[in-house]
Structure 1
Amino acid sequence: MNEFDKRILSDDELFFWLCQMASQLDSAVMIINPKKSFTIEYVNHMFMYMTGYSETDMIGSTLSFLHGQHTDLLNEKDIQESIEKGVTFKTSSFLYRKDGSSFWSDVSHLAMRNPQGELQYCVLTLRDVTDSMNIESLIKLERDVYFSLENGGTLESVMGNICDTVATTFWKECYCSIVLRDDNERSLKIYGDLFNDLNKLDENALLMGIRTGDMGRLHKTVILGDIAKSEYYESYRDLMRKHQIVTLWGEPILNMEGKIIGIFTMYFKQHIEPKDIDLKFLNRIAPIATLAMKYFDQKKAIRRLAYQDVASGLNNFERFKIILNEMIAEGNAGHLYIVKPGEYQTIIDLYGRRGGDEVLSQLANRIQSLSTFEDSIIARYTHSTIIVATRLSLREMSIPQKEVDLILSDPYYIDGKEVYVTLKVGTSIYSPQVTLTEAVHRADTALSSALKINGTVIKKFNQSLIESVEQEMNVLSHFSRGIKNSEFFPVLQPKVNIRTGEIESFEALARWVSAELGFVSPALFIPVAENTGNIYKVDLVIFRKVLQWQKNRLDAGLKLYQVSINISPSHFYNASFVENSVALIKKYSIDPKYIKFEITESVELDNVLRAKKIINELQQYGVATSIDDFGVGYSSLSYLQELPFEEIKIDKSFVDNLSNPRMNAVIKTIIQLSGNLNMISVAEGIETEDQHNELKKLGCNIGQGYYYYKPMPIEQINDLLADQMTVH
């Protein structure tokens, strides 16, 4: 309902009011009339200023006039469909101004309806976010440059990547090049797509007259709007004819002392005058090239240090390889270990790289002091790991408990402060039959497996680890197709009132039957989806199909049940999570009380205040929340006081050990605490009558597990509920 001054507004009155409001706003606003084929009926002054179009250009048109060469037409189609359906949304779109220049925009839509639910007007607001998108792409470029050089990439490949990325990100058809002089101004190096053509130009044209030896910290951007009218026409004539280049922008590249050592250049096929936002983007490129060169030089200096890791004082990996290869050549065999402190990144965050170096150095010294490892070779393998090779025969090594305590229980010291660590260890064997390269690869694979488990873990390599990695990669390659082809679906497991035995609600569990892979275990595809940032797609598929099931029951006049949906941490913290979830529930016309979001306890540990805000917003809309797997991770009872969950789920691992008096006492405490906090207690994984009876005795509210029901497809759930209704 649109209400103003306590009156119901007619279409004309509402339109007048909307226009008056839009004219006062600093945001770009467009009003679309659904009764006129969803054409534009009004744009405010900010909309005209942002796009360069006049009111005459736009009135009576559709959004398509803002589309251009690189606009995502599928996204625009979704936007248009949402407008026509009257769905409120917020999204991003790549659009074009009248002069042909492009910009990224956040697009928000508000549907205005009359009391009968008819769509009266669609109000769109646009916000230019090009600068933030440019910054985001440059941050990613910096990260790519770092990782490429960290992994042995050449300066040529890195500089080429900078040129390619900018040409793609800038969304204007162009070529990019980087021209560099060394510190002694001797050699000229050229990178980018036009390398062969630019190599034929003289130095003055390449550097646009900038003196590379200038120490004046010049930051002058070079703009040649029409090369044909510049002093460099003769030099560039062949290049202009071959590639239709007419405009050139250049930005000086400085070294860390402020001395100009080159220029980053963009070549365009059309006359383009840079806007302020373009100049800001251009100014941010050159420092990335500077940092790449600096880091590359540092890497070369490190490589020159043939045998020692300066930061930790340990042998470096090159030295390690030389020694171990000599041992293998002499017929020796033994064990190889790659060791990583589980808290390494936390140590870096608290104490910096020096703190990490110190812990690795102390760890290596302790290992070397063990009787089992006194004749071993130890070196720094990566920035966060050390590598150890024993000179022992291939027997199972037994390390005395006292020595184990020395490594694990005794604190490490950084600036006189005590630090405790857990260790992740991957181990394999080496021998004349197993090369060093293969042994290291196997130990790396074992370490990757160890990193997935909490606490101190030693993983031995076996072929199943390789098969597991291959399986994960196979799952990943079919994942997108599975989402697209609607191969993911929910199964529902009833949640039963422990005292009455009646079904009170359900939990939706994701399942995947792939056309190529067949049934894929959730234990396999969920970690893969989480690690690749795609888990939210699974969440949404399950959420939509649950809502559709509830809608079908609603339309059929059948009883509705609350269904719990598992939400991944990354999805939970998404800025649009609450808004999008509520919109989806409304789309299916389901009362929010029939939806509950289950959130694993690790979520609130990230940011209690933010989690509390999200949970409160959900509750305001009537959506319940549950803390899942409570007690498995690093639970703190204070979180239960801080966060307004309505339900607490006791993990199956607790229920499995219910007969243990200590575990029994823990579960009893959790159940009592949940009651004191007006929370519902749910026990997962109940499989026996003894467990059921004991939990009933302890006062647990809800039970879930194979003792009652296994997870079932929706069709079987319908039959089950129909049978129960018949019995009643």
Structure 2
Amino acid sequence: MLEQLKNERTEMENELKKLIIKDSLTGLYNKAFFIEQLDRFIQKSDREKDRFGLLFIDFNKFKEINDTLGHHTGDRVIFEAARRLESAVSENCLLARYGGDEFVMLVCDVHSRAELYNIAKEILQSFDSACYIDGHEFYLSASIGIALYPFDGRDSDNLIKNADIAMYKAKEDKDEEYNIRFFTSEMEKEVQERFMIETQLRKALENQELSLCFQPIVEISKNKLEGAEALLRWKNVKLGFVPPEKFISIAEETGLIHSIGKYVLENVCNFIKSMERKGLPLIPVAVNISAKQLENRNFAETVKSIIEYYQIDTRYLEFEITESVSAGNMKRIKENIEKIKDLGIKLSMDDFGTGYSSFAMLLNLQIDKLKIDKMFIDNIGKMREEKIIRTILSMAKELGLKVVAEGIETEKQLKFLKDVSCDYGQGYLFNRPMDINMFEEYLKIRCYSKGKSPDNFSGSVC
């Protein structure tokens, strides 16, 4: 009897030890045990001047599985992922579940970066075949970031952090065959810059750091002002002038795009109403709208309430979207666009021709106008680009769409666009973007010149 109790106690102690070091879902080592072993290995490697690699593995779009099929199925997918990772691990590796759909792997006895890359590639290849769970067929894919000791960190915190940074950069490599990236110091600088931008952007509205500029859109055949595009600008005390391409994506990722987008729309509507009160000629003003805004179920209602508050005629308000909306929730986006169109707002497709989905979106969305990307305008003079421009114009004419050429900077470009009967133009050749006060002066001059776009108008550009 006593012997039996001893055996049972030993079994219980062994089970408790497993619980302390093992992940309950996958049976792999857990985060705490992995970090403990990593710290020990760093001490050993420091003494013996060894190198080793740390792989940070994250599964792509796993959240969609949880959201669509529930956490029970998600857990089973994680379990299957762990089994496949185990099958790809060699004896000189320590594998652990870090949390959620994240895994970490310590690779000992590393002789080259190529060796680490091949290990990472074998891991990704282990997910080439489908897995079947609860009657569903899945194809899993992952992104892997790699940090190398001692070059990318001399302690566990920095090694894991830097491998994690590299993993997120790997996720961005959509054109690569394998989503694998080694950490570089430039990545860390980008992360620090992004953190600073996000921190300051959260205060930008409150501190009144955002402003609007307006760039004229001209009817090419008559050199007549047709409209304008409202462009967002941000000047921060610490960062100085921050280009939109650096902060708009961060605004989208953090959800700040909704409050910023509302600010832009309110200020554009206020500007239109102000011009009406001052008796200045009204022109359509285009506002850029992101996919994230269109995915918001309340977006169309927000637009409607702003329009009603400022009592503007929607003939003078246009929205510009890019093909990035095709990657969003198309059901919600189409619902919002239908409501927006019912309000009388016209819709333009910006940067047309730069992506594979632009043509498909013409069929799915109620587009009124196309904007030919500056990339094609820059290459006017080259036969291929000129053929593309002619093709876009011909197609637009067949579909009853107007066309704006973006980024016109030379008389040569303007002459070609006039010869091929492009409707409208926008670019530095006509005018740079102007702040709100200077644009008002521009409109006054236009009023006295019977609609002609003022030549060589010099003002406060932004």
Taking structure 2 as the reference length, what is the TM-score of the superposition? 0.73
Structure 1, unpaired ranges of 5+: 1-300
| Structure 1 residue 584, shift from structure 2 partner | 2.8
**Secondary structure, counterpart of 1:715 in structure 2:** helix
Q: Deviations over 1:270-312 (max 9, x none)?
A: xxxxxxxxxxxxxxxxxxxxxxxxxxxxxxx999534444644
| Shift in alpha-carbon separation, 1:619–1:439, aligned structure 2, 3 A | same
Identity of aligned residues (%): 30
| Shift in alpha-carbon separation, 1:436–1:670, aligned structure 2, 3 A | farther
**Secondary structure, counterpart of 2:288 in structure 1:** strand
| Shift in alpha-carbon separation, 1:409–1:505, aligned structure 2, 3 A | farther
| Structure 1 residue 595, shift from structure 2 partner | 0.2
Q: Deviations over 1:459-497 (max 9, x none)?
A: 443455444444444444444543234331111123344
Q: Deviations over 1:533-559 (max 9, x none)?
A: 222222222222222332332233222
The residue identity in structure 2 corresponding to 1:345 is K
Alpha-carbon separation, structure 2, partners of 1:403 and 1:475: 32
Residues 53, 116 of structure 2: 8 Å contact kept: no
Confirm or deny that 1:383 pairs with 2:100. yes
Alpha-carbon separation, structure 1, partners of 2:323 and 2:17: 44
CA RMSD of aligned residues (A): 4.2
Q: Which has the higher helix share?
A: 2
1:614 aligned partner: 336
Alpha-carbon separation, structure 1, partners of 2:380 and 2:142: 30
| Shift in alpha-carbon separation, 1:582–1:345, aligned structure 2, 3 A | closer
Alpha-carbon separation, structure 2, partners of 1:311 and 1:692: 64
Confirm or deny that 1:572 pairs with 2:297. no
2:166 aligned partner: 446
Residues 280, 447 of structure 2: 8 Å contact kept: no
1:81-480 matches, within 5 Å, as: 304-309=18-23, 311-312=25-26, 314-331=28-45, 332-348=50-66, 349=68, 352-362=74-84, 365-366=87-88, 368=89, 375-393=92-110, 395-397=112-114, 404=121, 407=124, 411-415=128-132, 419-420=138-139, 423-431=142-150, 434-451=154-171, 454=174, 456=176, 457-479=179-201
Residues 650, 682 of structure 1: 8 Å contact kept: yes
The residue identity in structure 1 corresponding to 2:211 is F
The residue identity in structure 1 corresponding to 2:130 is Y
| Structure 1 residue 594, shift from structure 2 partner | 0.6
Alpha-carbon separation, structure 1, partners of 2:406 and 2:16: 54
Higher Rg: 1
2:210 aligned partner: 488
More relative contact order, 1 or 2 (CA 8 Å, 6+ apart): 2
| Shift in alpha-carbon separation, 1:430–1:663, aligned structure 2, 3 A | farther
| Structure 1 residue 434, shift from structure 2 partner | 0.6
**Secondary structure, counterpart of 2:249 in structure 1:** helix
1:578-727 matches, within 5 Å, as: 578-603=300-325, 605-629=327-351, 635=357, 637-652=359-374, 671-685=393-407, 701-706=423-428, 708-723=430-445
Alignment coverage as a number of residue pairs: 423
The residue identity in structure 2 corresponding to 1:552 is S
Taking structure 1 as the reference length, what is the TM-score of the superposition? 0.49
Q: Deviations over 1:122-166 (max 9, x none)?
A: xxxxxxxxxxxxxxxxxxxxxxxxxxxxxxxxxxxxxxxxxxxxx
Structure 2, unpaired ranges of 5+: 1-14, 453-462
Alpha-carbon separation, structure 2, partners of 1:657 and 1:409: 44
Alpha-carbon separation, structure 2, partners of 1:690 and 1:379: 62
| Shift in alpha-carbon separation, 1:318–1:573, aligned structure 2, 3 A | closer
Q: Deviations over 1:622-657 (max 9, x none)?
A: 211223455667727444223212123455566678
**Secondary structure, counterpart of 1:412 in structure 2:** coil
